Amino acid sequence: MSAGERVLLVTGGGRGIGAAVCRLAAKAGYRVAVNYASNDAAAAALVREIEADGGKAIAVKGDVGSEADVVAMFEAVDRAFGRLDGLVNNAGIVDMKARVDEMSAARLERMMRVNVIGSMLCAREAVKRMSTLHGGKGGAIVNISSAASQLGSPGEYVDYAASKGAIDTFTIGLAREVAEEGVRVNAVRPGIIDTEIHASGGQPDRIAAIRGFVPMKREGKAEEVARAVLWLLSDEASYTTGGILNVSGGR
C-alpha cells in the first residue's frame, strides 16, 4: 500500500511535535487528521498549509481526556476518510513546576487523565479499526513519551514524568497484545525540544537553563522527533514493535 492511501490521526496535532508530524506525514502522502483541543485557528492554519502544498488534511476538535470526545474524533475520521492506518498519540500536558508535596489531587488526576488515559482511549479506538481481529488491515501506533520517564524530573514535574513512564509500559504491553493482529506499537522519547510546552509549564527559559546538560549541547527540533515518528509508522520499521526510541541528544 502506498502512503497516499493511508490515513493518519495525530492527537495534539495543531502545534509543536504534533504539527511537525502532520507536515511530514502529508508530504509523504498520508491523508492527515489533525486533532486539537481548543486552538481552532492553529489547526485550521495547518490544514490550509498542508492543502496548499498539495496534501489532504482535516481538523478534528476533541479533548483526549474526554472519552466522548475521543469516540467522536475517531468517528469523524471514519466519515472523512473511511479508514485508519496510523495513530500518533502526541497530545499531552505539563503543569507548573512543583514538588510532589505541593501537588493537588486535581492536578494529578488531570495529568493522568490526559497523558495516560487519553492515549489509552485513542489506542483502543485505533485498535478497533486496524486490528485484523476486528476486520481491519493492520496499522501502526506511535506514542510520544519523554526522556522524563527515565529522569524522573525531580523538583519540576514528577507527575508528568510518571505519566510518561506509564506510556512506556503501555507501549510494551499493547505491542505484545496486538502483535499477531497486524498492529505495531512503538514510542518515541523526546528530550529537550524547542516547542511551546516549556512556556505552558511556566518556564519559557527552561531550554537555555538546561541545554548544557544535554551531551550534544543543544535542544532538538520538532521535525527531528517527527522524522523518528514517521520511520516507526512506515514499512521500513515493519519488524519493529514494542520499541522505544530516544530522540534526546544523548540525555
Active site residue 157: no
Cell of 157: 514535574
Query: At 144, which helix (H) or strand (E)?
Result: strand 139-144
Which amino acid, one-letter code, is at 32? V
Contacts of 92 (CB under 8 A, 6+ apart): 12, 114, 115, 118, 119, 144, 163
Rounded-to-integer distance, Cα 17 and Cα 10, Å: 10
Contacts of 161 (CB under 8 A, 6+ apart): 146, 148, 149, 151, 152, 153
Strand partners, 58: 33
Coil, strand or helix at 156: coil
Strand partners, 144: 188
Which of 30, 36, 157, 160 is an active site residue? 160
**For cell 549541547, what's the residue?**
217
Give the residue numbers annotated as catalytic, written as ranges. Answer: 160
